[in-house]
Amino acid sequence: MTIYGYARVSTAGQSLNEQKETLKNSGAEIILSEKYSGTTTVRPQFEKLVNLIEPNDTLIVTKLDRFARNTREALNLIDDLLKEKIIIKVLNLGTIDNTPMGRMIVRTLLSVAEMERDMIIERTQSGKAFARQHNPNYKEGRPRRQKDGRNTAILEFSLTHTVKSTAEAFGVSARTVQYIKAQFKG
């Protein structure tokens, strides 16, 4: 009977350290972790975990939405694990058992998590639409990072020098010089 922990964050910039520490302190002997959005079903470490875990083993996650943010996928996954007699512990919820009440609690909480995610997306899209309508200078995506006019200097230098010599002069790759030139053309 092995106790497994699973940690997941949605973006590369987020840290797994807090989840891993919490899982370790909760008794997890083996912890698998990855950085994948909850909206994707491609999670190699979770697939590895599902193949490793055996009946009467325990799976610990810090929150229910670490399984997935899609209610249907999470419910199917939890049902499959419970049928295999896997013990599921969600640290901010408790042990999920294979009873009508346990399944109802899981369904309710997953539905709330999915609704919350959908509302975040809706608010983001609404904000973008408002900005497009009311701000003529609005551009989609992140603003380009400028390093004290360095891109302009690289461009100006490249007008009278080769890409290779420009790259060497500014300590950047030739590809960066080509990228900057292409950005200023449009």
Is 67:74 a contact under the CB 8 Å cutoff?
A: yes
Length, in residues, of the chain: 186
Q: What is the DSSP string of 89-109?
A: EETTTEEE-SSHHHHHHHHHH
3-state helix, strand, coil in the chain (%, to 5): 55, 15, 35
For the stretch 122-141, pLDDT in tens is 988 888 888 888 888 777 77
HSE of 146, CA atoms in CB hemisphere, 13 A: 8
Question: pLDDT tens-digit profile of 79-123?
Answer: 888 889 999 998 888 888 878 888 788 788 778 877 887 888 898
Exactly one of 10, 26, 111, 158 is catalytic; which is it?
10
Note the pLDDT tens digit of each residue in 165-186: 998 888 888 888 888 888 776 5
pLDDT tens track for 26-61: 999 999 988 876 556 678 888 898 889 999 999 999
10 is catalytic: yes
